Amino acid sequence: MTQVKICSIQDVSHAFAAAEAGADYVGFNFVPGVRRRLAEEKARGMIAAFRRQWGQRGPRLVGIFAGQPLAEVNRILASCGLDMAQLSGDESPDYCREVSRPVIKAVHVPAGRPVAEVVQSLDGVMSAYEGVGAMLLLDPEVAGHLGGAGQSFDWAIAEALAKTHRFLLAGGLTPENVAQAVAAVYPWGVDVSSGVETRGVKDAAKIMAFVAGAKGAGEVVTPQYRVLFVCGGNTCRSPMAAALARRVLSDSVQVSSAGVDVREQSATNDAVEALKDLYGVDIAGHIPADVNGYRLAEYDVVVAMTPGIADRLGDYYLVPSEKLVVWSVSDPYLRGRAAYEQCVRQLASLIDGLIIERALPRRE
């Protein structure tokens, strides 16, 4: 289902509206000199209020920056308790690598050039940022603006890039055209700011309509079966298993992953590279999630990567034994690339067995 980011909110009520509408990401703007910039103290209070009500269940909270010193970015991320950073300036891949949270990197689409030329140019740029684990956001290049200008660009460019890259589509999107954009481009997600505002202020009704339009575009498949993969830190085994399962299972199966001891902010590089090289599946944008944020009773199958994790799920989280599937998959963390590749192959084999054992529908 299409991911949705509501950008540059200026009041905690807007964050609540986004969460209630089902948005996946909410952005807080810290770019100096822009209209929607938030003072750090105000943002910290808004985020604290949001966390008190939603905890970790709601959308990921994203700090938006552009051309700012790395130390300042990392300080604000930590001070405000943000989940991710969006970089909308000319930050390099090396800069992205040093940011203390997972990164969404804005890539600006130039106007007035042939589609094929722009696609070829941006393909290399996007690959460079993906190489350091950054998620991508595609928006128009507008003089004097770093996003939020309400202007669009030729969707043919985005459509071509969507065949090889995963990104959030931004620029000129509104509740009225977002379904059309998703159907035309088929992006991983969409991003909006001015398109859900009335007289420059976020509008809860427009946010609701935008999220519904984005997530309702195309064929909607109601999950008939829910599977959750659980490991320790949710940085390698369980996200790799979930990605492999999504690759072969029908869209009627909702697949998720979580950890019982989450400490890191992203998937390990070896996990990302091993999975992509062996099966062409990309988990570079994965953000580790704590199992406490899930309603375990809603899952039909909970797969524990080890007997120890299964015991914890049963004893502490009261997952019924008939729902638990227990595997013995060694943690490849810090054991080198070969250990990750062996883990990926073992997971793929175990998933084949799980499909047979539980009669799960395969993707056609």
- pLDDT tens, position by position, 303-320: 999 999 999 999 998 999
Task: From 158, 180, 165, select the one nearest 109 (Cα to Cα).
Answer: 158
pLDDT at 223: 57
Residues 6 or more apart whose CB falls under 8 angstroms from that of 53 comprise: 16
225-358: CATH topology is Rossmann fold (3.40.50)
Helix H or strand E encompassing 206: helix 204-216
Sign, CA torsion 10/14/18/19: positive
pLDDT at 263: 79
pLDDT at 80: 97
pLDDT at 220: 46
Decide: residue 85, CB within 10 A, 0-12 exposed, 13-18 middle, 19+ buried. buried
CA distances from 148 to 80, 141, 237, 318 (A): 22, 11, 38, 46
Q: What are phi and psi of 183, to 5 degrees?
A: -65, -35
- What is the model's pTM? 0.61
pLDDT in tens, the chain (364 residues): 899 999 999 999 999 999 999 999 999 999 999 989 999 999 999 999 999 999 878 899 999 999 999 999 999 999 999 999 999 999 999 999 999 999 999 999 998 888 888 999 999 999 999 999 999 999 998 765 565 455 788 898 999 898 889 999 999 999 999 999 998 898 999 999 999 999 999 999 999 999 999 998 754 445 578 899 999 998 899 999 999 999 999 878 888 898 998 877 677 788 888 888 898 888 876 778 888 867 788 899 999 999 999 999 999 989 999 999 999 999 998 888 999 999 999 999 999 999 999 999 998 7
For domain 3-216, is the CATH number 3.20.20.70? yes
129 vs 167: CA distance, rounded Å = 11
DSSP string, 139-201: EE-BTTBSS-S-----HHHHHHHTTT--EEE-SS--TTTHHHHHHHH--SEEEESGGGEETTE
364 vs 356: CA distance, rounded Å = 16
Each domain of the chain, given as residue ranges in start order, spans 3-216, 225-358
pLDDT at 144: 56
Q: What are phi and psi of 172, to 5 degrees?
A: 70, 15
How far, in whole angstroms, is CA 67 from its chain's centroid? 23
